[in-house]
Amino acid sequence: MSVSIEKLSEQACFGGLQGFYRHASVQTGTPMKFAVYQPPQAKDSPVPALYFLAGLTCSEETFMIKAGAQRYAAEHGLMLVACDTSPRGLNLPGDSDNWDFGVGAGFYLDATQEPWSRHYRMGSYVNLELPALIEEHFPARADKRGIFGHSMGGHGALVTALRHRKRWHSVSAFAPISNPAAVPWGEKAFGNYLGPDRSRWQDWDAGVLLSGAAYPRGILVDQGEADQFLEQQLKPEALEIAAQASGQLLTLRRHAGYDHSYWFIQTFVADHLAHHARQLLV
């Protein structure tokens, strides 16, 4: 059975098409918005799609508006896909009391605890439902998918690719929450979404997943050294330790003076699209 999507807008951009859409998500049980940039090459034949997961408080619009990635997607012939950061409109108890939990803070996992478990299924949404939808409605190749993200979304990208290595053929991150099970943002989110048993958290922790086995291709991570969340929440050194343990090829770049913002992301986004193009366009 075909799933329908609602077109909210489509506008020309760098010879391709920037669109915003909505659909009824089975995983979250809510309407979900998403954004797609189709590069000019997609008019001729399907192209690899590169999924971006945004950080806390962001939406499907943030990356598309602020990162300046369409130019590079048009050069390489990559589709860009961005989703929202959580279900919205549910009014679950406590879902809007904090900017770092609940609405805008789904952490790209599948919750197991009430009242979150019915709707907060962003893990399966990103890994399964959204790619199926994209590949049905847009000229996206099903055999070449890349994923990247920022902060909470950097965690989400790494975890999605590391949990499903055959489905995701390239991965990178900006300032990811690298070891969420050991930092305040992650403890709050995982404790509520996954429950108090910390052994259950490990399945959604990039550092833990990466230390167990290397991802089959190199991983690129950029981190600003003036990032206000670096020491307490992000801990990229966890990725370096994990990569050493598993023999992972990891390029972790630290940039003096850069903070946690999209000014940082836009500065280095060209390198990320080139990284994914190298791994997807083969």
Closest CA to 55 of 262, 270, 264, 252: 262
Three-state secondary structure call for residue 267: helix
* Contact in structure between 234 and 223 (CB atoms under 8 Å): yes
Beta bridge mates, 7:
21
Q: Which of 1, 2, 4, 12 binds its own copies (CB under 8 A)?
A: 12
Counting contacts by CB under 8 A, is residue 13 touching its own copies?
A: yes
**Candidate segments 26-34, 110-118, 186-194, 259-267, binder of its own copies by CB under 8 A:** 259-267
26-64 exposure pattern, b = at least 16 Cβ within 10 A, e = fewer:
ebbeeebbbbbbbbbbbeeebbbbbbbbbbbebbbebbb
Counting contacts by CB under 8 A, is residue 44 touching its own copies?
A: no
Q: Which of 70, 86, 178, 248 binds its own copies (CB under 8 A)?
A: 70
Three-state secondary structure call for residue 240: helix
**Candidate segments 9-17, 116-124, 191-199, 213-221, binder of its own copies by CB under 8 A:** 9-17
Distance CA 189, CA 180 (A): 9
> Count residues contacting its own copies (CB under 8 A)?
24
* Contact in structure between 6 and 22 (CB atoms under 8 Å): yes
Q: Of residues 76, 211, 227, 272, which has the active-site annotation?
A: 227
Q: Which is nearer to its own copies, 80 or 181 (CB)?
A: 80
Q: Of residues 25, 59, 86, 151, which has the active-site annotation?
A: 151
Q: Of residues 76, 119, 260, 272, which has the active-site annotation?
A: 260
Q: Where are the alpha helices (DSSP H) in the chain?
A: 62-66, 70-76, 122-124, 130-137, 152-163, 184-194, 206-212, 237-246, 262-280
Q: Which of 75, 142, 267, 278 binds its own copies (CB under 8 A)?
A: 267
- Alpha carbon 189 to its chain centroid, in Å, reads 16
| Per-residue mark of binding to its own copies, 168-207 (x: CB under 8 A) | ----------------------------------------
97 annotated active-site: no
Q: How far is the CB of 11 from its own copies (least distance, A)?
A: 5
Q: Which is nearer to its own copies, 65 or 213 (CB)?
A: 65
**Candidate segments 128-136, 143-151, 214-222, 251-259, binder of its own copies by CB under 8 A:** 251-259
Three-state secondary structure call for residue 7: strand
Contact positions toward its own copies, by CB under 8 A?
Answer: 11-15, 18, 65-66, 68, 70-71, 224, 226, 255, 257-259, 261-264, 266-267, 270
- Which residues are known catalytic residues? 151, 227, 260
